[in-house]
Amino acid sequence: MSDILETLFGSRTRARLLRFFLLNPDQEYHSSEIIRRNMTKKSEALREINNFKKIKFIIERTKKGKKYYILNTNFPFYPELRNLVVKSNIYPQCTSLGKIKYIGDVKLALISGVFLNYAKSKADMILVANSVNRRKLKNLINSVEAEIGKEISYVLISSEELKYRMNMLDRFLLEFFEGPHDEVINKVPGLKRFISNLKR
């Protein structure tokens, strides 16, 4: 659905910045951080920031000679825009998640939290992988965060640690498994049966 937003709002940069401000309403950001976190071109981002400022969608504040920007929560269409953006973040519309398989020997990738609009989840993603390429993992997380407009919390563990935690009935894992979640990758034998037994 992110491509739908891009079409509705005219460009990927505009859609990303809208989403970014709407999902982080209490934070102030310098333009350089906005550009970095949303992986946008500087000229395009600055143009959209100026457009947002003109219609009072965001407010500009100056601190120590530097300009910072924050969402104007009194903007007339704030609730409606936020609801639209939140709906657009639901998996499988987040295309960056398709790159998970390239970070290493990935056995399991489960998502919840921000991806499913489930605020009670203690993590947005659980990754079980061996021989992880840290650079590729960092790039993946950056891409996902830029696409959905919000920082994600994730847990990365090895196959051995997953097995140990399941045997110990680790509370964090059990709560994640029992709550709403979706599978991106599942190569763990018997995991579906394990989870279904928890929910009985």
Domain boundaries, the chain: 2-88, 95-198
pLDDT digits (tens, 9 = 90+) for 53-102: 999 999 999 999 999 999 999 999 999 998 888 776 565 567 888 899 99
Helix/strand/coil percentages in the chain, nearest 5: 50, 20, 30
pLDDT at 3: 58
| Assigned CATH class of 2-88 | mainly alpha
pLDDT at 198: 81
In angstroms, what CA-CA distances link 116 with 20, 74, 119, 131? 17, 27, 9, 28
| pTM, entire model | 0.76
pLDDT at 1: 46
Residue 100 CA to chain centroid, in angstroms?
Answer: 14
pLDDT digits (tens, 9 = 90+) for 149-198: 889 999 999 999 999 999 999 999 999 999 999 999 999 999 989 888 88
Structure tokens at 168: 């110990």
